[in-house]
Amino acid sequence: ETGVTQSPTHLIKTRGQQVTLRCSSQSGHNTVSWYQQALGQGPQFIFQYYREEENGRGNFPPRFSGLQFPNYSSELNVNALELDDSALYLCATQRGSSTDTQYFGPGTRLTVL
Amino acid sequence: SQQGEEDPQALSIQEGENATMNCSYKTSINNLQWYRQNSGRGLVHLILIRSNEREKHSGRLRVTLDTSKKSSSLLITASRAADTASYFCATDDNAGKSTFGDGTTLTVKP
């Protein structure tokens, strides 16, 4: 157990809908990163938040957006869902430094029909 | 394309044997990390090796890093059936972004 939780565990949506995924961080972890993992592939970096500010973004369109709250929990929002958005979404938290270990949550499995 | 690429894609061994997985990357890094993932669940951190380190050990795990060849290896000694999982390397850049490869799927037969 890493102390990082994600909700919901599973989610089914239809094309065009919007979804919000949530992540709670370990105590003292002020940095959160979100990843998308398609079946059979490695996680792909979506973006990172540090102290409530976006701190780097991967190659994902603007319909992927995020928030980090004062308690360092985080949300990932995806608008206008597409079939290819079906994946496991992982969040990872760490203490501020980029040299620190990331601790991953169990993920949210999103299926877009 | 992915920064880190693992080799082989799949590895099947008998319990008690050693398993070696390799990772190659393309650009300069701050750190390289190895993770394990069981059946589409969350990633479990195994080892972090910094760019100025050459080797690290943790229990039955040994990681090497060769920055001149831009490669790393993960050795699992005396493997067990419970080691069956996918193993990923991830490289960390100056901005704290982690780039993962597509992993090596290890099967350890009892």
Q: Give the DSSP per-residue string, chain A.
A: --S-EEE-SEEEE-TT--EEEEEEPPTT--EEEEEEE-TTS--EEEEEEETTEEEEE-S--TTEEEEE-TTS-EEEEE-S--GGG-EEEEEEEE-SSTTSPPEE---EEEEE-
List phi, psi (to 5°) of B44.
-110, 125
Q: Is the pLDDT of residue A8 over 80?
A: yes
Closest to B74 measured CA to CA, from B61, B85, B84: B61
Return the pLDDT at B1: 42
Cα A59 to Cα A23, A42, A64, B14, distances in angstroms: 21, 15, 10, 40
Q: Is the pLDDT of residue B74 over 80?
A: yes
Distance from CA of A103 to the nearest CA of B (A): 7
Return the pLDDT at A16: 97
Residue of B nearest to A47 (CA): B97
Query: Predicted confidence band at A65 (pLDDT cuts at 50, 70, 90)?
Result: very high
> Coil, strand, or helix at residue B18?
coil
Q: Is the pLDDT of residue B86 over 50?
A: yes
Distance from CA of A11 to the nearest CA of B (A): 15
| Percent of chain A clearing pLDDT 90 (strictly above) | 78
Return the pLDDT at B29: 86
A104/B100 Cβ within 8 A: no
A3 versus B73: the higher-pLDDT residue is B73
Return the pLDDT at A11: 96
Distance from CA of B99 to the nearest CA of A (A): 7
| CA dist., res. B44 & res. B25, Å (int) | 21
Query: Predicted confidence band at A1 (pLDDT cuts at 50, 70, 90)?
Result: low
Q: Is the pLDDT of residue B77 over 80?
A: yes
Query: Predicted confidence band at B98 (pLDDT cuts at 50, 70, 90)?
Result: confident
B42/A106 Cβ within 8 A: yes
Query: Predicted confidence band at B36 (pLDDT cuts at 50, 70, 90)?
Result: very high
| Percent of chain B clearing pLDDT 70 (strictly above) | 94
Residue of A nearest to B10 (CA): A40
pLDDT tens-digit series, residues A36-61: 999 989 999 999 999 899 988 999 99
Name every chain B residue with its beta carbon within 8 A of the beta carbon of A102.
33, 45, 98
Hey, CA dihedral for A49, A54, A57, A60, is it positive or negative?
positive
| CA dist., res. B3 & res. B103, Å (int) | 12
What are B's interface residues with A at a Cβ cutoff of 8 A?
2, 4, 30-31, 33, 35, 40-45, 48, 50, 88, 90, 92-103
Q: HSE (CB half, 13 Å, CA atoms) of B108? A: 19
Facing B41 at nearest CB: one of A41, A55, A106? A106
Distance from CA of A15 to the nearest CA of B (A): 23
Q: What is the mean pLDDT of chain B?
A: 91
Facing B98 at nearest CB: one of A97, A102, A107? A102
Return the pLDDT at A98: 62
